[in-house]
Amino acid sequence: MPGAPAPAGATSDDITPAAVRQQSIALVDDDRNILTTVSIGLQAEGFATRLYTDGEAALKALLDNPPDLAIFDIKMPRMDGLHLLQSLREQSSLPVIFLTSKDEEPDEALGLAMGADDYITKPFSQRLLIARIRAILRRSELAKTTNEGSARENLPEPVLRGRLSLDPARHQVTWDGEPVSLTVTEFLILEALALRPGVVKSRNQLMDAAYSEDVYVDDRTIDSHIKRLRRKFRAVDPEFTAIDTLYGAGYSFTDG
């Protein structure tokens, strides 16, 4: 197993260099004990880790050299996790998991509305954290499928629904020809709705589409992602109404 994380004074480090590419996880938390514990656990599962104790320094590094996934604490000095996510989402759809305390539920809901892919409440088990990470990374890898070489013929076809164009192979979405940047989770929820226009999908069905079987999320997680989807499309088209709510039943996508 790789050695322990770098000394606490370091702002960031690539902890586990390797000859072959490892999936990398960035950890941003001002609690160095949590950084050390989580980093060692991730390394034991084969991940490379980068550690940041400061949100401002983390933001620059995440944009300059993106990892495969990032984990943010919410409560941090200078730039907290919410502001870090907000700044990151202006330029990147990097998958993000929030670590929250039980008394931070409003922040947790806000984080999901701002574009976090998942959250985990402290105290948490390493097994749960690893399961959530692997689930999001699996979805992210599927979204990054390219049309190179022999894989071309196996690519899913673009989904065209009225003014919506959704290309699963390239993780690209446009509305009226204007690009809309979505996180992996948002993309999968939209895809599930757009594949069956007019059909009401329950929150449980959307959870199944966006999350693996070993990950549980509650209703408000889906609601937060839907709110953010609408907000992103309305930034392109203020009259966007293609995602309908049927109260008590779920959501549907309307062609047109």
Q: Which residues are CB-contacts of 189 (< 8 A; sequence separation ≥ 6)?
A: 206, 209, 210, 222, 225, 226, 229
Q: Is the pTM of this model over 0.75?
A: no
The full set of domains in the chain, from first to last, is 24-142 (3.40.50.2300), 156-253 (1.10.10.10)
Per-residue model confidence as pLDDT tens digits over 34-56: 899 999 999 999 999 999 998 88
- Widest pairwise Cα distance in the chain: 56
Per-residue model confidence as pLDDT tens digits over 88-109: 988 888 999 988 776 666 666 6
In this structure, of 108-122, 142-156, 174-188, 221-235, the range with the lowest mean pLDDT score is 142-156
Per-residue model confidence as pLDDT tens digits over 125-172: 888 888 888 878 877 776 665 434 334 455 567 889 999 999 887 778
- Name the more confident of 223 and 193: 193
| Amino acid code (one letter) for 58 | A
